[in-house]
Structure formats: structure tokens, C-alpha cells
Structure 1
Amino acid sequence: MFRIPTTENTLHLLSDVRRGQWFVHDYESLLPVALSFLRGEKIPEAAIRPVFEFSTSEAQFSAAIGSEAKTKQVAVIPIIGTITKYDSCFTTGAITYARAILTAANHSEVGAIVLDIDSAGGAGNAISVLKEAIHHVQSLGKPIIAHVDCCASLAYWAASQCDAIFCDNLLSTVGSIGGLYQIVDDTGKMEKEGYTVITVYADESTDKNLDYRMALEGDNTLLKKNLSYNVAQFHQDVKAGRPDIKEDAAGVFTGAMFHPAEAQAIGLINGVMTLTECIENAAIRAQYNH
């Protein structure tokens, strides 16, 4: 069992909820909790995570090291729930997940990694560190595969960078390749409470926060332009990580979700396997790599 220290950073979560880009499926279900969080209300489900843990499973293979053969292990790293960049009272952050991936990758007794994903996605600023960690594993010649149940939006973005993706069961879902902006306009609430906010921009700063200011006035043009830039990067990474994906299939790059049979047919996943089977699959891949 590996224990990775975490650092709670609720202020970053506040910022992301108020003005962040999100690559998440079914975000409406998160709104009640997000609004309660912004109001400072106590959320019973919130739990501080002082440490993050992941486990290893004995793999039935040996990898030659010098003149000796040593039994290797497969690290299983859970990625559960909404993904944010930093740890918070609600979430384990991508930085902590990435630290766990790197710790496993650099451990001499770990020969392969399985990301055990059950997530509808998360904040757009979380993807870079996950991609970097996954690519580091691959640079070491160690297999890294994704075992998924719900794997949507940003979670799928991360999974698509792995060597393979396997759904857990026939009710699993993957996809939602797309993004959205989340902006909270609380000016009306502040005025109701007696606050008047006066914002003054320098004459030389006419473009500062222009996309946000236009959105408050009902014009989302600049926000959509910025979001489209990042969605294009999402598409590019998925196509690179899943070269056999059928780009012209309906819904693939417009945010649709898919069950395993259709997902496999259009190249979103490699098949259906339980976690135990994925561990065995990763072990076989590691043996062939060596």
C-alpha cells in the first residue's frame, strides 16, 4: 500500500467553480452542491482526505533485471469522482493522482499500472499533469491501462492517453468528449444584501476580463472561442491516443455517451474486463515489453 500526502486547497476549488472551464458530464447534478459550497454551507458528504492510497497486486510474470529475474507488481490507482487540479475538502486533485502515478512508475518493483476510473470528468486545468504522468510511465516502457466504469469528458481525456481502455461491465459508459464554462453571477444577490460593486478598468486595459464581462451581459462569443480552443486540444489528444477511433461516428466528438458494445465498435475502448482481468492484462503487457 502506497500512501501519498495530500494538501487541501479549497480556494482554488472556489475559483474553478465560479469561473472555471469544465470537461464534465451531467454537470447539472453537481450544481446543488456547488451552490451550497459557494454559500459556505456545511456539506455532510464532504470529507477531508489527509492521505491518498493506492495498492499493488502480485503479477504472475517476471522481468529480467541484469542476470536476475524478479517478480513484478501491478499498481492499481483509483481515480474516483469529480477531478480538480488541487485537493479540496470534496476532491482528490489531479496533482495527487499524478504523484501517485509517478511514484508507482518509478518504483522498481512495479511493472505496470492500472488506472481504476469512475469519474464523470472535472476541471479543464487538471488534465496537463495527468497527461504528463501517463506519458512518463510510457517513456519508461511500462504499460498503463485504464479500467473504467463511468469515464466521461476529462476522465476519458486522461484514459485516452493510456495504452488501452477496458469497461468494467455492460452498463459502463464512456464518452462526453466536450467542454463547458461555469460562471456564477452573484451580482443580484449582493445588491439584494445591500452591496454595490464598482469595477474600474484602466483606459489601456479594455480587453481585460472582456470575455467574462461580455458573458455577464449575455454575449458568450469570447467564452465560446476560448472553450473551442481547448475542446480542439481535447479532440487532438483523443485522436492521438486512440488512432483507430471512428471520427465520423455520430456523437463521438460532439459529447455523446456510449455503452461498451458501441464504444468498442467505434474505437473508444478496447473491450470489457473486470479489474482483476485488467490487472492480468497489464501484467501480460509488461512481460511482453520486457
Structure 2
Amino acid sequence: MFSIPTTENSLHLLSDVRRGQWFVHDYESLLPVALSFLGGEKIAGAIPRLAFEFYAAEAQAQFTATETGSKAQQVAVIPITGTITKYDSCFTYGAITYARAITAMANNPEIGAIVLDIDSGGGAGNAIAPLKEAIHRVQALGKPIIAHVDRCASLAYWAASQCDAIFCDNPLSDVGSIGGLCQIVDDIGKLEKDGYTVITVYADESADKNLDYRMALEGDTSLLKKNLSYNVAQFHKDVKAGRPDIKEDAAGVFTGAMFHPAEAQALGLINGVMTLTECIENAAIRAQYNH
């Protein structure tokens, strides 16, 4: 069992909830919890997290001996579950912690391959960079890294698409939702109702500061959409690079649809269906070939 220290940053999550870009599926189902969080209410399941734990598995397929010794290498299994934020919060681990775990296993000579065990509807747009960097670090060191997924949507799929392969766990798994949304929370009315008066003053020289947010409050979301489209374009670019056989012109693939395994495999979103145990074996075999 391995352990990575965590650092909670719930203030950053507050900022993301209020006015962040999100690459997440079924966002509406998360909104009531997000609003309760903003209101300072106690949320069921919100607990302090002191460490992130994951494990290494022995595969039946034996690794070839390394140059430094004959000890068989293992496959690290790193779970990525729930909504992915950049930092740890009282709800979930963050991408920074996941990236630290991935990087630690990339640098560990006893680890020959990595399986990301993903069950996530996606997360905040600012969470993808550390995950991509860590996955590419593994690949640069010549170690296989594959994704075993159940639900793998939006930002979670963005991360999985950078791995060497993606395997759904079972016929009811689903992947996709390649797209993004932006939200802002206008709580001025509530503040005024509670007796607060909010006065915001911008310098004459700062006409463009927070302009997208201010325009949206006035009903014009065009600038927010423009900024969101920039990041969605990067999402598409990364998926095409990581999944070169994806059927990008097929209906729904790049417009946010979700797919079950049979259709997802036909469209190039995944490589097939495997249990976690089978993925561990697959990763071990890939490591043998890499040697």
C-alpha cells in the first residue's frame, strides 16, 4: 500500500463553484450540493482527508528482470473517483494529489506499469494540466499506463485519452461527454435580502477586467462562450492526439454524447472491455514488451 500526503484547498473550490469552467457530465445533479456548499451548510460525506492511498498488484504475467536486479516489478493501481477538482477538498481528492501518485509510481523502480482505475463524471477545467503532465511523464520513462473505467466522462475522459489504452469495466459502463460548460453564481440578490450592500468599483484603466463575468450578469454570455470554446478546442485536440483512430465526425463524439462500450469501441473511444484484474495483466504484458 502506498500513501501520498494531501493538502486541502476548499477556498479554491469555492472559487471554481462560483465562476469556474467545468468539463463534467450531469452537472445539474451536482448543483444543489454546490449551492449548499457555497451557503456554508454541512454536507453529508464531507470529511477531512489526510492521505491518499493506493496499491501495487502482482500480475500473473511475470516481468523480465531489470538491469538492477531480478525482483519482479508490480503494477500500481491508482483510483480516480468522483468529481475531479484541481486541489483536494472536503469532498474528494484533487488532480494535484493524483498527479503526485502517478509521478511517484513513474519514478519507482519496483513499479513496471500503472493502471488508472477511473469512475468519474469529470471535473473542473483547471484540473487537467497536472494529470496530463503526470501521464506523459510515465510514458516518457517507458512505462505503460492504461485506464480501466466504469463511468469516464468529460474531464475524466480527457485524462484517460492520454493513456496508452482505455478499457471499460462492463457492458453498462459509459464514456464520452467530450465538451464543456461554464457557470457563474449571481448571489447579489440574496446578499441584499440579508441586508448587505455590494459596491464594486473598477479603475478607469481596467475596463476589461472581469468583463466576461460582468457581461454574463447583464445577460450577455458571448465572451464567456468564447473563452470556454478555446478550452473545448484544446480538449478536442488532446483527445485526437491520444486517440488517433477516434471517429471524430461521428454523431455525438465531439458534441458531448455518452456511449456504452460496444458503440464506444466502434467509434474509437475505447480499446475494449476488461475487468480491473484483466487490465492489471494487460499492463504487465505491455511492460514486458516495453522492456
Range of TM-score over shorter length: over 0.9
2:288 paired with 1:287: yes
SS of aligned partner of 2:62: strand
Match of 1:183, as an amino acid? Answer: I
CA displacement at 1:135 relative to structure 2: 0.1
Alpha-carbon distance between aligned partners in 1 of 2:193 and 2:31, rounded to the nearest angstrom: 22
Alpha-carbon distance between aligned partners in 1 of 2:219 and 2:172, rounded to the nearest angstrom: 39
Identity value in percent: 83
After superposition, what is the alpha-carbon deviation per residue over 1:92-123, rounded to whole angstroms, capped at 9, x for unaligned?
00000000001111111000000000000000
SS of aligned partner of 2:91: coil
SS of aligned partner of 1:151: strand
CA displacement at 1:69 relative to structure 2: 3.1
Alpha-carbon distance between aligned partners in 2 of 1:62 and 1:255, rounded to the nearest angstrom: 39
Match of 1:238, as an amino acid? Answer: V
1:62–1:69 contact (8 Å) kept in structure 2:
no
SS of aligned partner of 2:65: strand
Structure 1 residues 76-155: aligned runs within 5 Å: 76-155=77-156
Alpha-carbon distance between aligned partners in 2 of 1:207 and 1:67, rounded to the nearest angstrom: 58
Using the size of structure 2 for normalisation, the TM-score is: 0.98
Q: Which residue of 1 aligns with 2:42?
A: 42
Q: Which residue of 2 aligns with 1:265?
A: 266
- What 5-or-longer segments of structure 2 have no aligned partner? none
Alpha-carbon distance between aligned partners in 1 of 2:69 and 2:39, rounded to the nearest angstrom: 60
Alpha-carbon distance between aligned partners in 1 of 2:68 and 2:238, rounded to the nearest angstrom: 39
Alpha-carbon distance between aligned partners in 1 of 2:193 and 2:232, rounded to the nearest angstrom: 37
Q: Which residue of 1 aligns with 2:32?
A: 32
CA displacement at 1:68 relative to structure 2: 4.2
1:83–1:126 contact (8 Å) kept in structure 2:
yes
Which of the two has greater strand per residue? 1
Q: Which moved more, 1:42-51 or 1:98-107?
A: 42-51
After superposition, what is the alpha-carbon deviation per residue over 1:135-166, rounded to whole angstroms, capped at 9, x for unaligned?
00000000000000000000000000000000
2:63–2:284 contact (8 Å) kept in structure 1:
no
Q: Which moved more, 1:190-199 or 1:119-128?
A: 190-199
- What 5-or-longer segments of structure 1 have no aligned partner? none
Using the size of structure 1 for normalisation, the TM-score is: 0.99
CA displacement at 1:61 relative to structure 2: 1.5
Q: Which residue of 2 aligns with 1:223?
A: 224
2:169–2:275 contact (8 Å) kept in structure 1:
yes
Alpha-carbon distance between aligned partners in 2 of 1:202 and 1:158, rounded to the nearest angstrom: 40
CA displacement at 1:62 relative to structure 2: 2.2
**Alpha carbons of structure 1 residues 203 and 30: separation in structure 2 relative to 1, 3 Å:** same
Alpha-carbon distance between aligned partners in 2 of 1:25 and 1:104, rounded to the nearest angstrom: 29
